[in-house]
Amino acid sequence: MTHEQRIREQVIATSTTISKMLQDFRAKIGEATEAPDTLAATLRTTNVPP
């Protein structure tokens, strides 16, 4: 394997890792954004006076 091929493989592996990290980060942001809405909905349904 040539030096260029090794570098190319390393670049691909690194970019794949970064892409996966960004996907995970976006998913966590989505969960954090939805959490207050879920909490508010839960409080509205559980704190309704009789």
CA atoms of 36 and 41, how far apart (whole Å): 9
Is the model's pLDDT at 50 over the cut of 60? no
43 vs 13 pLDDT, higher one: 13
38 vs 24 pLDDT, higher one: 24
User: Structure pTM?
Assistant: 0.60
Q: For the chain, what is the total number of helices (H) and then of strands (E)?
A: 1, 0
